[in-house]
Amino acid sequence: MGKVLIGGGAPISVQSMTITKTADVEGTLQQIYALAAAGCDIVRCTCNEIEAAEGLAQIVPRSPVPIIADIHHQYKMALAAMEAGVQGLRLNPGNIRSPEHIKAVASEARDRQIPIRIGVNGGSLDPALYKKYGGITPEAMVESAQREMAYFHEVDFDLMKISVKASNVPLMVEAYRQLSEVTDVPLHLGVTEAGPLPNGLLKATAGIATLLLEGIGDTIRYSLTADPVEEAKAGRQLLEALGLRERKNIDLIACPSCGRAEIDVIDVANRAMKAFGDRKIPLQVAVMGCVVNGPGEAREADLGIAAGNKRGHLFVKGRSVAVVPEADMVEALVEWAEYINEHGSEAAVARVDTAIAEREAERDRKALMSDKGEDANHSTERIVEIRRRNER
């Protein structure tokens, strides 16, 4: 897809789709740039009328990422989109059913070396297949994809990828599993019509992540009833969380809080996320509620802060480096993260006297344990009772 590789050993790519009218060139480009900034690798635009195709001719050369034209019922729009210079097409087999029209598009794409995605959708399945299988089933969706591929092969076109999306997660997962068994064509993953946040995010993640962890899938899209930028962010964050793409932004982890917490962890974590915003700092940063377990539990984080005695104890790779007032915790996190990102962890540690920070952290830790109790669960008494009952 332009300069974006899909399939084989290429990184999993993130896609989204504009919600503007494609004829609105400036508005569409503005959304494409916002998607690219959020981590989108490929953007799809609808091409449902001649004005949209004309808009694509102006959008494609100015776009920072490859553009796919989304085609539904009118095969001539696919031909027009290719003339406009798009780097890819998406065809829905349930909507373009004429074999001659399909092959005409594939032949043109073959000559231009433009990839096509066969976009099977549970909501627009060919009525004949719906009747044959008694409804929308994984088998029906896979057959729809295979039928379309056969048309492409008739004209010696194989530059394709496939999707078999459904809004039902188990159905979607099984369809992709079956499809992966019968073809090695790159697969585009997605739960179609996942819905608004947060439910849509959960549904899409459940389906996409399940398949990616099984080694199935080459490119993904979150189909959310939300600003498409949210789709791009979700896709990028998922791939980073699964270790499938290099981290670009902060990965903020935080404890779930407990009775030992000295601060409102939720508030501090949310303020930290807002403060980091879209800064390109590929570090893992931890916000921990207390100094008792915080630094140890988050020792693998690049940077973290733990609360104790109304102070924030900063640590780098589990090592205490500074103590700051509680009110300055978020500001200190951002400042240290920027320094580490530019100079590295060792340089950050070397600029301070860690002995002071470690001494203060230990003092606050002991004070907190004394206040909360070394044995809040009364484990000694419980162990005696456990043994007594076992001896009966």
The 3 state secondary structure assigned to 190-231 is CECCCECCCHHHHHHHHHHHHHHHCCCCCEEECCECCCHHHH
For residue 36 the two structure tokens come to 């690219």
Residue 384 has pLDDT above 80, yes or no: no
pLDDT of residue 370: 65
Place of tokens 């609360």: 307
CATH 3.30.413.10 domain range(s) in the chain: 251-372
CB of 286 closer than 8 Å to CB of 265: no
Cα dihedral sign, 24-95-74-91:
positive
Section 242-258 average pLDDT? 88
pLDDT at 281 exceeding the cut of 80: yes
388: helix, coil or strand?
A: helix
Of the segments 299-303, 374-378, 387-391, which one has the largest average pLDDT value?
299-303
User: Which band of pLDDT confidence, cut at 50, 70 and 90, is reported for residue 185?
Assistant: very high
pLDDT at position 260 is 63
Identify each DSSP E strand in 290-368 by its residue range: 303-308, 311-316, 319-325
257 has a pLDDT exceeding 80 = no
Within the chain, which residue ranges are assigned CATH 3.20.20.20?
Answer: 13-241
User: What's the predicted TM-score (pTM) here?
Assistant: 0.85
CATH of domain 13-241: 3.20.20.20
By the 10 Å C-beta count (0-12 exposed, 13-18 middle, 19+ buried), 70 is classed as buried
Using N-to-C axis directions, what is the helix angle for 50-59 and 25-37, rounded to 10°?
A: 50
Stretch 100-112: mean pLDDT, rounded?
A: 95
The C-alpha atoms of residue 188 and residue 91 are separated, in whole angstroms, by 13
Q: Which helix (H) or strand (E) holds 147?
A: helix 138-154
C-alpha to C-alpha distance for 247 and 284, rounded to whole angstroms: 9
pLDDT for the residue numbered 290: 77
Q: Which residue has the higher pLDDT, 97 or 146?
A: 146
Determine the 3-state secondary structure of 30 from DSSP.
Answer: helix
For the 251-372 domain, the top CATH level (class) is: alpha beta
Strand pairing report for 188-189 and 160-165: unpaired
Question: Which pLDDT tens digit goes with each residue over 265-279?
Answer: 888 899 999 999 888
Rounded-to-integer distance, Cα 104 and Cα 88, Å: 15
